[in-house]
Amino acid sequence: MMNSQTVVESLSASDLLSATRELVQKSCDVEGELLVYLGEIDERKLYLDCAFPSMFTFCIGEFGFSEGAAYNRIMVARAARRMPAILEALRTGRVHLAGLRVLAPHLTRENHSTVLAEAASKTKREIEELVARLWPQSPVPAVVRKLPERSNLGTQTSPAFSFDTAIPKSSPALALFSSTSSSRRSLLGHERHVALVAWLVQFPLEDDEAGCRKVGRDFVGRVAAVEELRSEHR
């Protein structure tokens, strides 16, 4: 009996492409059906019967999903229970799962048909740009501040992993920089042991490549200056 690799290698170019297209369509159908089942499990909260505290942890522990796959499927499945057209867009391959997850928080019964049609055949980046155009947010103010010490954080769960609660809309640029007690090489190339210090850095980014590069250079330069000042006071 021939194994699947041997069968694939024996296919002509046209047959290989045709068979792959069929598999892609089947995968879209299966993904859509999976979301229906996940949505029903979520609605009934059956994850509690399986000793999981949330649908998110259930999908990871029970089905072996990655964190990203679990999040995408849960969010889209929830939206699809209210708007079945989302599943149709997925099953037909018009909008991929990652794109639907980006759209899900913004879709309503009134706008979803129009928005899904506009998102058809777009990449995730293009869909993100579509969302930014249809639902623009005010630029965030530039912020650099020290975060609480780890001892003050306790066992609080990071909001990024609390998928069963409302998640605030992300800022245009958000980064968390921390130095741990292990030996790290600083931006100036010096080896040193430092205590845990975390800083929140938030700033708006310009929508052009040159502007983004300039922001990056300015930011790295400022961090390097801070590192130099800290080293002088040690």
What is the per-residue pLDDT for 124?
96
- Rounded Cα distance between 139 and 82, Å, is 31
What is the per-residue pLDDT for 16?
97
Same domain, 113 and 200: no
Percent above pLDDT 70 for the chain: 60
- Last-in-domain residue among 106, 134, 162: 134
Mean pLDDT of 147-161: 52
Any domain includes 5: no
Same domain, 72 and 172: no
H/E element holding 124? helix 124-134
Residue range 192-203, pLDDT digits in tens: 444 555 666 666
Quote the mean pLDDT of the chain: 79
The 10 Å Cβ neighbour count of residue 216 is 11
pLDDT confidence band for 151 (50 / 70 / 90): low
Any domain includes 8: no
Q: Is the pLDDT of residue 102 over 50?
A: yes
> Higher model confidence: residue 94 or residue 155?
94
Q: How many domains does the chain have?
A: 2
Nearest to 186 by CA among 226, 233, 149, 214: 226
Percent above pLDDT 90 for the chain: 56
> For residue 21, what are the domain limits?
13-134
